[in-house]
C-alpha cells in the first residue's frame, strides 16, 4: 500500500496538517503536499477511471505530464473539472471528486467496455457508427456522449476573477530548474532585463531531488544561493506558479500565472495571463521520463521511476513497500537507491539492457539490490492495484520466468526533452540516435523578423541529461542569446558539477520485444485516451502512414495531456509497424498551450459589464429611462421601440409608425457614420468612391450615394452633404462608420497616395436627431432660431444656425417618406436638444420611435437597407438603383466589375415589391419557388425575400425581394413556402407601396 | 469572491479638454500650432502638453491640439486663416472624445493590464504619447512630466473605459514594477 513515511519530504511541513475530502471522504495531508502526494499518503492509489475502457487508474507521474490523475475540484461557483492532482497544491478544505465513473469509483458499470476491448479497436467509432445514418443523432451520439468525456462541465457562474498583463523584457527564461537559473544568471550578468518563470511553486527542478554536487556544494545549496543572487539583481524578475504556455512569432510568449489556486482565500485574481514580448527567449523546460510498454503498465501502482523518487524525496510518500524497478537506463537506479535508503524494499531491478555496469548500477548492487539484466516485465498482476509482476526475457516473446510479488512498479523508458515551446513557433527537431530522443536542432531555430533565431533551448530540454552539461549549456546559450544585443558578454563561467557517470541507455519500445498480440493489447501507450500498442499497429496496417492521421484515428496524444508521455512511444511503435525510421515518421505538431490554461484567464477582465464594449449615444440614458427595448447594431444598442405600459413591442412599433406618419416621430440617429472628406482632390476622390457624381454637388446641398467594393458589390450607402468648396460630409450606415473610414484611408494611402485628400471620422462629435412627420416643421419653428421653411430649406438641402439656442446643422433628408429634418449638434448638447424636442413636441404629438418603425417606414417607401437588401453578393443594378449610377463617369470603384458578363446577366435576381394575396406577413428569409428541380434534385428557387414587415399604414404584410426577371413580371403571383410547407401567394408589385409621387416630403 | 486590493493609482475623468484634430504637413503646421497651443511641435510619438494645452503627435500627418474648451472656435478660425490655400483639415473633436487621468506610481502597471504598448520607463516616459488600445477599444495616452497619464478614448465607450480602469485597479498590483 502507499503511505506516508516516518521521515523525509523536503517540501512538506509536518507540523501543519491539512484536511481535505476526496469523493466525500475526509483525508489528511500536510502543507506543501500536492493533491497527488496527499492522496498517495492516504493509500488512495486509484484516482479515476480511464476514458474508453473505464479501467482503474492511479497517478503515474509527479508533474504537468500526469495523464490519469484528473479530478473535479471545488464546488459550486469554484467548481473546475480536469484538475491535475500532481499540479494541484493541497489546501485546507479542498474538495475533489474522481471523474469518469458511474455509479462509483470502486464499482463502475462502464468498465464492462474493458471486457469487450478487442471489439473497440482503433477507429472503432468511425467504423461502427457510420451506418445507418439515421441512427447517429438519436442513438449513437447520445450513447457516446454519455460514455465519453472526462470531467463535468461547470454549471455555476465562476466566482473568481482573472486578468491579463503585458510585459516587455530583453530575455525571457522559461523554466526554473538549474538550467533556467543558470541561463537567467548568465543573461542578467550582461545587463539584460530578464524575466525567469517557473510553473511549479519551487525552484531547482529535478536537481533539487537528485542533489548532484555543483561547484563543490550540494545542488540544493547552489540553487538557494543562485536564487538569492538573482533576487538581488535589479534587472531580474522571478515569478513562480507561472507556466510558459506558448511561444509565437516576433518574440511573443503567453504565460499562465496561478495566483490563488494554492491559497483560495487570497484576494485578487485567480489567474493572470501574461502576454510577453521578449527580445530573446530561452527555454529551460527540462525533460519528461517515458513509460515502458509492457502488459498491464496502466495498473494503479505503476509509476514513472522519477515520479516515485519525487514522492519519496519531496513529500515523504511511498507508493508501496515493495517496488520492482524496470528500466532501460541508469537513471532509474537512482529510484531504487532512494527507495532502499528510505528503508523500503526493492525486490529486483529489471534492466532491459543485456549489460550495464555504471557507478549507479554498482551502487545498487552494493546496497544488496538484485539486478537482473536482459529482463523485462511480461505482465503486471493485479487490477485495481499492483500485486506483482511476471518477469520475462526482454529478447523473447513473454514466457514467464518468475513471478515477484510487489505493490509498486517504477518504470523508466528514457527521457524526452520538453521541446514543445521551441516547436510552437517553428523550431525544428533532430532525432538523437544515441539517447533515443528528439531534441531541438540548433541550426534550424524559429526565426524572428531579422531572420535570426529568437529562441534557444538549454539543459535537459536541449538533450543534456547530465548536470555538468546542463549548466555549461545554459551558461553558453544565455551568453549567445544576449550577445546579439550586448557588446560584450559578461555572463561568467559555468559552474562545475559532478554526478554519477551513466552507461548508455538502450531504446525499448516493446517489452518484451517479441510480445504476442494478447500482451500488446494490454500495453498502454496513451493512458488518458486508452490507446494501446495494438491500436497503433492496427492503424498502420489499415494504411495510416502519416503520424498526424494515425493520431486522429487512434486518439493517441489527444486531450488534456496532449501525449506528453505517449507521443514518442507511440510514434516509435508506428515507425516499427511501418518499417520506417523514427525521424522519417516524425512527431505530431506541438501546439500551445503547454498544459491547459483556464478559460477565465483567456477572457481576463472581459466579463460582465466588460465582456464587450457597448457604445452609448449621448441620448442613451434617456432611452433606458423611458423603457426602450434595444437591438444590437455593431457595438451600439439602438432603441428598437419604446413600449408603453400595457403595450407589446409589436403594438409599440405600430403606434410609432402611425404617429410619425400622422404627427411627429423623434429618432436618435447619432450612430450614423459621419466622415469629413477635405482637400483639393476630395471631389475627384468621392467620384471614385461613389457610383454617382459627388464633385458636382453644390455647397449647401445633399445627395444620396452608393458605395461599391472594387468587385462591384454594394457595401454602403448614405447622404453626402457638401459643406464648402473643398469639404464634403459623408454619412455612412451605423455599422459602416469605421469600415468605410478604413476603406477611404486604404485607397488614399495605398493607391491614390498623391491625391490631396484628408479624411476625419467625426461620427461621435455629433448627436443627430431625426425630426420626422407632417408637423416636424412646426416643431422646429417652435424651437426657433433657424428658418426651416420649404423655401429656405428645401428637400435635400442643409442649413446651419442656432436652434433653440444650440448651434446646429440641419439636413432636409428623409428615410421615411415624410417631411423630415435631421438635426446635428455637438454631442455634449444632444441631450439638451432632445429634451427640448420632447417637451415642445408633446403638444404636437411628438413621440420617439425606434429602429423597427424606421425599418417599416423605409420599406413602405421601397428604400433599401444595407444588410437586408445587400449581403455582399448584390450589386446596385440588382436593386433597381441604376438611377444612382453615373453613366458619364470614366470610372468608379466597382464599375469595371459591374460590366463583367455575370454581373450584367439579365437573369440576375432583381428587386421588386411583394404583396401577399391574403395580406399575410411573409416569414423573414423565405424563398420563392418555381417549377421542377435543379441539377441537384432540389426544388427550383426563383427569388428570396430580403425585407418583410407588417405595414400599419396599409394594414397588411409588405415585403421586398430579389426575384428572377422580377421587374418584367409585374402583377404575376408567385409561391413562397413557409417552413411548415404551406404556400403564401404573393403578387409582384412596385417596391414603393406608399406615396409613390412623394407628395408628403414637403409636409 | 475575495475582496480586491487597490493599487496606488487614482483614476479620474480629466478636466474638460478642447480638442482639434489637425491633419497636414507637420512642419508647415508648426507655427500655427504653436500660436494656438503655446507648444512646440512634438517629435514622433511625443506629446508637448502642459496645463491642458499642447500638441500630441498622432501620425506622420496628424496632430491632436489641446486648448481650453472655450477657445476651440477661435483656434479653428485662426488655423483656417493661417493655413488658407494650404491643404489641411482641422475639425473640432472635443465632444467626440472622453479623457481620463491616472495619477500615482502604479499608473504604468494599471495600464500594463490593458495595452500591449511597451510601458517600461526606458520605452515610455514623461513626454511620450502612444495610440494603441486599452482592453477592447482604441485609445491614445501620454505621460506628463510628473508621471500622470492622460487617456483619451471615444465618447461612446467612456463608461466602458472607466469600468475597465476601475476593475483593473481594484484587482490589485501585479508586483512587476
| Domain CATH for A304 | 3.50.50.60
Angle of CA points A880, A882, A887, to nearest 5°: 170
Residues A747 and A734 in one domain: yes
Residues A209 and A272 in one domain: yes
Residues of A within 8 A of B118 (CB-CB) are 168, 277
A 685-704 → B contacts, CB under 8 A: none
Which range among A41-55, A609-623, B7-21, B26-40 shows the weakest confidence by mean pLDDT? A41-55
Q: Which of A103-107, A528-532, A819-823 has the highest mean pLDDT?
A: A819-823
pLDDT reported for residue A112:
66
Residue B3 has pLDDT above 90, yes or no: no
Question: Which of B23, B85, B96 has the highest number of chain A CBs within 10 A, making it the mutation to test binding with A?
Answer: B96
Q: Where are the alpha helices (DSSP H) in A395-466?
A: 420-424
Q: Give the rounded percent of residues in chain A with a pLDDT score beyond 90.
A: 88
At residue B5 the predicted structure's pLDDT band, cuts being 50, 70 and 90, is very low
pLDDT reported for residue B1:
31
pLDDT reported for residue B4:
37
Residues A35 and A118 in one domain: yes
Number of H helices, E strands in chain B: 4, 10
Q: CATH for B96-170?
A: 3.30.1360.120
Could you tell me the sign of the dihedral formed by the alpha carbons of A572, A578, A582, A588, in that order? negative
Q: With an 8 Å Cβ cutoff, is A765 touching chain B?
A: yes
Residue A757 has pLDDT above 80, yes or no: yes
| Domain CATH for A910 | 2.40.30.110
Residues A638 and A781 in one domain: yes
Digit-coded pLDDT (tens) for A646-688: 999 999 999 999 999 999 999 999 999 999 999 999 999 999 9
pLDDT reported for residue A611:
96
Which range among A449-458, A674-683, B24-33, B90-99 shows the weakest confidence by mean pLDDT? A449-458
Average pLDDT over residues A267-277: 96
Residue A662: exposed, middle, or buried by beta-carbon count in 10 A (0-12, 13-18, 19+)? middle
Q: Which residues contact A114 (CB under 8 A, 6 or more apart)?
A: A53, A54, A55
Residues of A within 8 A of B24 (CB-CB) are 758
Residues of B within 8 A of A266 (CB-CB) are 2
Angle of CA points A704, A706, A707, to nearest 5°: 140
How close A779 comes to chain B (CA, Å)? Answer: 26
Q: Do B160 and A260 count as a contact with CB atoms less than 8 A apart?
A: no
Q: With an 8 Å Cβ cutoff, is A163 touching chain B?
A: yes
Residues of B within 8 A of A193 (CB-CB) are 120
pLDDT reported for residue A105:
75
Residues A679 and A667 in one domain: no
Query: Which of the two residues, A139 and A975, has the higher pLDDT score?
Result: A975
Residue A807 lies in a domain: yes
Which fold does the domain B18-95 belong to in CATH?
Alpha-Beta Plaits (3.30.70)
How close A766 comes to chain B (CA, Å)? Answer: 7
pLDDT reported for residue A966:
95
In this complex, the residue of B96, B137, B172 whose CB is nearest that of residue A827 is B96
Report which DSSP code applies to A609.
Answer: G
User: What is the distance of C-alpha A755 from the center of its chain?
Assistant: 42
| Structural domain total, chain A | 7
At residue A144 the predicted structure's pLDDT band, cuts being 50, 70 and 90, is low
Digit-coded pLDDT (tens) for B99-140: 999 999 999 999 999 999 999 999 999 999 999 999 999 999
Q: Give the rounded percent of residues in chain A with a pLDDT score beyond 70.
A: 95
Assess contact for A414 and A282: CB atoms under 8 A: no
Residue A995 lies in a domain: no
Residues A151 and A40 in one domain: yes
Q: Which three cell numbers stand for residue A178?
A: 538549474
At residue A103 the predicted structure's pLDDT band, cuts being 50, 70 and 90, is low
How close A626 comes to chain B (CA, Å)? Answer: 20
Q: Do A268 and B2 count as a contact with CB atoms less than 8 A apart?
A: yes
Digit-coded pLDDT (tens) for A168-210: 999 999 999 999 999 999 999 999 999 999 999 999 999 999 9
Q: Do B113 and A760 count as a contact with CB atoms less than 8 A apart?
A: no
Rounded Cα gap, residues A609 and A606, in angstroms = 8
Which range among A93-102, A887-896, A918-927 shows the weakest confidence by mean pLDDT? A93-102
Which residue of chain B is at minimal alpha-carbon distance from A614? B157
Rounded Cα gap, residues A534 and A586, in angstroms = 20
Residues of B within 8 A of A168 (CB-CB) are 118-120, 123
Gyration radius of chain B over CA positions: 17
Range of the domain at A142: 1-158
Residues A5 and A117 in one domain: yes
Residues A716 and A678 in one domain: yes
Q: With an 8 Å Cβ cutoff, is A665 touching chain B?
A: no
Which residue of chain A is at minimal alpha-carbon distance from B96? A765
In this complex, the residue of B156, B157, B174 whose CB is nearest that of residue A165 is B174
pLDDT reported for residue B61:
97
Residues A408 and A421 in one domain: no
Q: Which of A139, A158, A177 delimits the end of a domain? A: A158
Rounded Cα gap, residues A46 and A101, in angstroms = 12
Q: Do B156 and A267 count as a contact with CB atoms less than 8 A apart?
A: no
pLDDT reported for residue A109:
66
Residue A513 lies in a domain: no
Q: Where are the alpha helices (DSSP H) in A259-407?
A: 305-315, 331-341, 359-366
Q: Do B118 and A269 count as a contact with CB atoms less than 8 A apart?
A: no
Which residue of chain B is at minimal alpha-carbon distance from A727? B89
pLDDT reported for residue A50:
85
What are the residue ranges spanned by the domains of chain B? 18-95, 96-170
Residues of A within 8 A of B124 (CB-CB) are none
Angle of CA points A390, A393, A396, to nearest 5°: 115
Digit-coded pLDDT (tens) for A949-997: 999 999 999 999 999 999 999 999 999 999 999 999 999 999 999 999 9
Residues of A within 8 A of B16 (CB-CB) are none
| Domain CATH for A743 | 3.30.70.1400
Q: Which residues contact A703 (CB under 8 A, 6 or more apart)?
A: A692, A694, A697, A719, A720, A796
pLDDT reported for residue A566:
94
Residue B155: exposed, middle, or buried by beta-carbon count in 10 A (0-12, 13-18, 19+)? buried
Question: Which of A76, A78, A91, A166 has the highest number of chain B CBs within 10 A, making it the mutation to test binding with B?
Answer: A166
Residue A517 lies in a domain: no
- Mean pLDDT value across chain A: 94
Residue A588 pairs with which residues in a beta bridge? none
User: Which H or E element spans position A274?
Assistant: strand A271-283
Average pLDDT over residues A909-928: 96
Query: Which of the two residues, A421 and A488, has the higher pLDDT score?
Result: A421
Residue B169 has pLDDT above 80, yes or no: yes
pLDDT reported for residue B62:
98
In this complex, the residue of B91, B117, B176 whose CB is nearest that of residue A762 is B91
How close A990 comes to chain B (CA, Å)? Answer: 40
Q: Which three cell numbers stand for residue A138?
A: 438519436
Q: With an 8 Å Cβ cutoff, is A164 touching chain B?
A: yes
Q: Which of A794, A822, A857 delimits the end of a domain? A: A857
Residues A372 and A241 in one domain: no
Cell 452608393 belongs to A706
Residues of A within 8 A of B93 (CB-CB) are 760, 762, 765
Q: Do B97 and A164 count as a contact with CB atoms less than 8 A apart?
A: no
Rounded Cα gap, residues A399 and B102, in angstroms = 76
At residue A118 the predicted structure's pLDDT band, cuts being 50, 70 and 90, is low
Half-sphere exposure of A898 (CA within 13 A, CB side): 23
At residue A487 the predicted structure's pLDDT band, cuts being 50, 70 and 90, is very low
Rounded Cα gap, residues A297 and A302, in angstroms = 6
Residues of B within 8 A of A265 (CB-CB) are 2
Residue A292 has pLDDT above 60, yes or no: yes
Amino acid at each position: 500500500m502507499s503511505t506516508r513515511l516516518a521521515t523525509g519530504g523536503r517540501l512538506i511541513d509536518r507540523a501543519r496538517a491539512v484536511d481535505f475530502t476526496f469523493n466525500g471522504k475526509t483525508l489528511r495531508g500536510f502543507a506543501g503536499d500536492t493533491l497527488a502526494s496527499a492522496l498517495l499518503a492516504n493509500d488512495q492509489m486509484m484516482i479515476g477511471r480511464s476514458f474508453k475502457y473505464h479501467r482503474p487508474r492511479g497517478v503515474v507521474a509527479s508533474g504537468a505530464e500526469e495523464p490519469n490523475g484528473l479530478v473535479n475540484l471545488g464546488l459550486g461557483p469554484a467548481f473546475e473539472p480536469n484538475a491535475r492532482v500532481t499540479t494541484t497544491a493541497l489546501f485546507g478544505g479542498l474538495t475533489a471528486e474522481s471523474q469518469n465513473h458511474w455509479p462509483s469509483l470502486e464499482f463502475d458499470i462502464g468498465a464492462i467496455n474493458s471486457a469487450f476491448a478487442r471489439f473497440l479497436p482503433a477507429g472503432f467509432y468511425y467504423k461502427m457508427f457510420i451506418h445507418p445514418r439515421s441512427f447517429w443523432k438519436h442513438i449513437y451520439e447520445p450513447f457516446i456522449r454519455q460514455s465519453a468525456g472526462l470531467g463535468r462541465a461547470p454549471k455555476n457562474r465562476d466566482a473568481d476573477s482573472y486578468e491579463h498583463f503585458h510585459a516587455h523584457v530583453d530575455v525571457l527564461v522559461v523554466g526554473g530548474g538549474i538550467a533556467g537559473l543558470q541561463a537567467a544568471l548568465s543573461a542578467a550578468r550582461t545587463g539584460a532585463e530578464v524575466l525567469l518563470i517557473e510553473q511549479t511553486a519551487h525552484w531547482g527542478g529535478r536537481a533539487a531531488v537528485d542533489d548532484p554536487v555543483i561547484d563543490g556544494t550540494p545542488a540544493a545549496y547552489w540553487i538557494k544561493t543562485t536564487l538569492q543572487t538573482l533576487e538581488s539583481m535589479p534587472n531580474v524578475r522571478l515569478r513562480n506558479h507561472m507556466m510558459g504556455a506558448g511561444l509565437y512569432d516576433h518574440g511573443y510568449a503567453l504565460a499562465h500565472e496561478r495566483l490563488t489556486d494554492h491559497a483560495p482565500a487570497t484576494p485578487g485574481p485567480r489567474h493572470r495571463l501574461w502576454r510577453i514580448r521578449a527580445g530573446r527567449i530561452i527555454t529551460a523546460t527540462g525533460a519528461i521520463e517515458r513509460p515502458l510498454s509492457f502488459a498491464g503498465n496502466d495498473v494503479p501502482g505503476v509509476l514513472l521511476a522519477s515520479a516515485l523518487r519525487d514522492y519519496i524525496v519531496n513529500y515523504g510518500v511511498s507508493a508501496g513497500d515493495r517496488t520492482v524497478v524496470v528500466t532501460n537506463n541508469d537513471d532509474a537506479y537512482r529510484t531504487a537507491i532512494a527507495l532502499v535508503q528510505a528503508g523500503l524494499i526493492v525486490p529486483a531491478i529489471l534492466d532491459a539492457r543485456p549489460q550495464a555496469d555504471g557507478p549507479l548500477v554498482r551502487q545498487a548492487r552494493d546496497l544488496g539490490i538484485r539486478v537482473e539484466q536482459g529482463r523485462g516485465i511480461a505482465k503486471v498482476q493485479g487490477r485495481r492495484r499492483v500485486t506483482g509482476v511476471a518477469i520475462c526475457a526482454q529478447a523473447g516473446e513473454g514466457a514467464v520466468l518468475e513471478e515477484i510479488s510487489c505493490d509498486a512498479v517504477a518504470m523508466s523508458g528514457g527521457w524526452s526533452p520538453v521541446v514543445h515551446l521551441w516547436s510552437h513557433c517553428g523550431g525544428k527537431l533532430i532525432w538523437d540516435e544515441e539517447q533515443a530522443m528528439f531534441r531541438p536542432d540548433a541550426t534550424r531555430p524559429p526565426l524572428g523578423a531579422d531572420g535570426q533565431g529568437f529562441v534557444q533551448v538549454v539543459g535537459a530540454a536541449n538533450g543534456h541529461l547530465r548536470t555538468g552539461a546542463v549548466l555549461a549549456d545554459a551558461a553558453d546559450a544565455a551568453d549567445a542569446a544576449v550577445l546579439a544585443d550586448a557588446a560584450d558578454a559578461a555572463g561568467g563561467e559555468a559552474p562545475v558539477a559532478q554526478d554519477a557517470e551513466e552507461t548508455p541507455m538502450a531504446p525499448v519500445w516493446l517489452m518484451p520485444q517479441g510480445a504476442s498480440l494478447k500482451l500488446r493489447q494490454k500495453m498502454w501507450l496513451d493512458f488518458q485516451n486508452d490507446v494501446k500498442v495494438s491500436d497503433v499497429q492496427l492503424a498502420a496496417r489499415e494504411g495510416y502512414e502519416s503520424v498526424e492521421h494515425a493520431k486522429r484515428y487512434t486518439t493517441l496524444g489527444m486531450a488534456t495531456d496532449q501525449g506528453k508521455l505517449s507521443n514518442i512511444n507511440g510514434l516509435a511503435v508506428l515507425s516499427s509497424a511501418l518499417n520506417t525510421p523514427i525521424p522519417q515518421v516524425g512527431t505530431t505538431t506541438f501546439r500551445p498551450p503547454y498544459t491547459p490554461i483556464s478559460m477565465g484567464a483567456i477572457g481576463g477582465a472581459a466579463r460582465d459589464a466588460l465582456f464587450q464594449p457597448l457604445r452609448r449615444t449621448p441620448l442613451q440614458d434617456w432611452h433606458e429611462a423611458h423603457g426602450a427595448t434595444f437591438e444590437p447594431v455593431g457595438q451600439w444598442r439602438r432603441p428598437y421601440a419604446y413600449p408603453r405600459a400595457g403595450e407589446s413591442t409589436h403594438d409599440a412599433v405600430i403606434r410609432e409608425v402611425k404617429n410619425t406618419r400622422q404627427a411627429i416621430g423623434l429618432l436618435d440617429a447619432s450612430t450614423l457614420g459621419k466622415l469629413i472628406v477635405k482637400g483639393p482632390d476630395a471631389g475627384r476622390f468621392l467620384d471614385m468612391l461613389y457610383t454617382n457624381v459627388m464633385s458636382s454637388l453644390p455647397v449647401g446641398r445633399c445627395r444620396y450615394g452608393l458605395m461599391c467594393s472594387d468587385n462591384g458589390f454594394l457595401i454602403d450607402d448614405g447622404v453626402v452633404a457638401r459643406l464648402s468648396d473643398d469639404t464634403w460630409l459623408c454619412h455612412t450606415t451605423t455599422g459602416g462608420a469605421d469600415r468605410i473610414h478604413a476603406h477611404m484611408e486604404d485607397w488614399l494611402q495605398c493607391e491614390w497616395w498623391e491625391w490631396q485628400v484628408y479624411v476625419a471620422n467625426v461620427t461621435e462629435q455629433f448627436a443627430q436627431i431625426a425630426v420626422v412627420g407632417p408637423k416636424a416643421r412646426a416643431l422646429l419653428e417652435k424651437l426657433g432660431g433657424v428658418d426651416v421653411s420649404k423655401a429656405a430649406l428645401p428637400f435635400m438641402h442643409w442649413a446651419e444656425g442656432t436652434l433653440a439656442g444650440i448651434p446646429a446643422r440641419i439636413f432636409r433628408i428623409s428615410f421615411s417618406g415624410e417631411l423630415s429634418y435631421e438635426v446635428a449638434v455637438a454631442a455634449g448638447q444632444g441631450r439638451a436638444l432632445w429634451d427640448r424636442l420632447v417637451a415642445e413636441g408633446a403638444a404636437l404629438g411628438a413621440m420617439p420611435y425606434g429602429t423597427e418603425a424606421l425599418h417599416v417606414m423605409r420599406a413602405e417607401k421601397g428604400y433599401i437597407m444595407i444588410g437586408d437588401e445587400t449581403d455582399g453578393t448584390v450589386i446596385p443594378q440588382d436593386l433597381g438603383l441604376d438611377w444612382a449610377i453615373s453613366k458619364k463617369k470614366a470610372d468608379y470603384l466597382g464599375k469595371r466589375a459591374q460590366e463583367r458578363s455575370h454581373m450584367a446577366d439579365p437573369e440576375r435576381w432583381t428587386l421588386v415589391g411583394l404583396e401577399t394575396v391574403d395580406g399575410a406577413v411573409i416569414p423573414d428569409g423565405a424563398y420563392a419557388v418555381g417549377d421542377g428541380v435543379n441539377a441537384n434534385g432540389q426544388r427550383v428557387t426563383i427569388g428570396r425575400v430580403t425585407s418583410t414587415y407588417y405595414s400599419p399604414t396599409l394594414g397588411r404584410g409588405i415585403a421586398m425581394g430579389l426575384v428572377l426577371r422580377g421587374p418584367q413580371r409585374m402583377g404575376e403571383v408567385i409561391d413562397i413556402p413557409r417552413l411548415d410547407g404551406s404556400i403564401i401567394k404573393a403578387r409582384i408589385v412596385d417596391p414603393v407601396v406608399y406615396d409613390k409621387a412623394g407628395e408628403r416630403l414637403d409636409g | 469572491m475575495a475582496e480586491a486590493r487597490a493599487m496606488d493609482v487614482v483614476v479620474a475623468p480629466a478636466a474638460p479638454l478642447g480638442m482639434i484634430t489637425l491633419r497636414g504637413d507637420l512642419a508647415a503646421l508648426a507655427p500655427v500650432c504653436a500660436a494656438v497651443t503655446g507648444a512646440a511641435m512634438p517629435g514622433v510619438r511625443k506629446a508637448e502638453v502642459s496645463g491642458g494645452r499642447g500638441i500630441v503627435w498622432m501620425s506622420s500627418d496628424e496632430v491632436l491640439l489641446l486648448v481650453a474648451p472655450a477657445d476651440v472656435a477661435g483656434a479653428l478660425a485662426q488655423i483656417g486663416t493661417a493655413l488658407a490655400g494650404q491643404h489641411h483639415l482641422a475639425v473640432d473633436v472635443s465632444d467626440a472624445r472622453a479623457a481620463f487621468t491616472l495619477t500615482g506610481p502604479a499608473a504604468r502597471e494599471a495600464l500594463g493590464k490593458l495595452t500591449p504598448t511597451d510601458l517600461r520607463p526606458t520605452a515610455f516616459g514623461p513626454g511620450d504619447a502612444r495610440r494603441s488600445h486599452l482592453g477592447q477599444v482604441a485609445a491614445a495616452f501620454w505621460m506628463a512630466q510628473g508621471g500622470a497619464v492622460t487617456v483619451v478614448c471615444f465618447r461612446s465607450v467612456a463608461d466602458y473605459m472607466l469600468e475597465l480602469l476601475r476593475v483593473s485597479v481594484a484587482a490589485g498590483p501585479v508586483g512587476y514594477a
